[in-house]
A and B are shown apart, each in its own frame.
Chain A
């Protein structure tokens, strides 16, 4: 990942967000990290709608997302991203407590890049995040064009 690429973290839990951010940085990630607190904010950011922060055109983004998000859940966000001809390029890493095979199948059918379960134990969680960070350091991510191509988000 390049320094000017951005990692978006859609995570409702403040403590989890801080841990994810710090551990990725400790693993060598120097890209900007932006927090989105619910599904609505995530869609607004990517589709450049609403009053909150928005993405910039011609920049590279990667999304790390929990499934259980307030307002709009992660599965719906994933579906809307992957249905948009421009946004569908974004690699989406699912990082969630939900550990059932049906959800795994569904996320992969919708087009998530990888599905990772948050380990319940703190030490293992940190180790998992560290390995994600090391891996992402060598990953190239796609550039998004200007505006999202589908008109409305419901």
Chain B
């Protein structure tokens, strides 16, 4: 992934975010990781309703999205993004605690790129995030440009 691409993480659990950030950073040092506490924050960022310095210099993103968040949840974020002519191009990885097959099917139907279940076991969770980081930081990944004027 290009060095200035941003990794957006929408996660209401501060502890989980900290674990994700620390382990992603080990392999994704070149990328800024931005945290959003709920769905509304990430939509406001993407729709440029909030001022954020990183937003102006970058136009390619990867979003890690939790499903259960207060207010606007992950389903709603995914739904709105995938209906938007530009935002629909952003790859979204669901990172959640639910391993229910109906939930997995639903998110793929709505257009998520991948669905990952946070392993309950601490060291397995760390390993999964580390592998995710290695994957995202590959030079071979190409991410779409998002025209934020739309």
Enumerate chain A interface residues (CB-CB to B < 8 A): 88-91, 99, 101, 104-105, 108-109, 111, 113-119, 124, 128, 131-132, 134-135, 137-143
User: Given the known A-B contacts A116-B141, A128-B140, A135-B132, are A88 and B89 also in contact in the complex, defined by CB atoms under 8 Å?
Assistant: no
Partner of B104, one of A90, A117, A124, A141: A141
Partner of A104, one of B88, B90, B111, B142: B142
Q: A141-B104, A142-B105 are in contact. List 12 more A-B contacts (CB 8 A).
A: A89-B105, A89-B109, A108-B89, A114-B113, A114-B141, A115-B141, A128-B138, A128-B140, A131-B138, A132-B135, A137-B131, A142-B104
Determine whether the beta carbon of B135 is less than 8 Å from that of A111.
Answer: no
Enumerate chain B interface residues (CB-CB to A < 8 A): 88-91, 99, 101, 104-105, 108-109, 111, 113-117, 119, 128, 131-132, 134-135, 138-145
A30 CB to nearest chain B CB (Å):
16
Collect the chain B residues with CB atoms within 8 Å of residue A115's CB: 141-144
Partner of B139, one of A108, A111, A114, A119: A119
Determine whether the beta carbon of A140 is less than 8 Å from that of B134.
Answer: no
Determine whether the beta carbon of B105 is less than 8 Å from that of A143.
Answer: yes
Collect the chain A residues with CB atoms within 8 Å of residue B142's CB: 99, 101, 104, 115-117
B46 CB to nearest chain A CB (Å):
15
A142 and B110 alpha carbons, distance in the complex (Å): 12
Which 10 pairs show the lowest CB-CB distances between chains A and B?
A: A135-B135, A113-B113, A142-B108, A108-B89, A89-B108, A108-B144, A134-B131, A138-B128, A104-B142, A142-B105
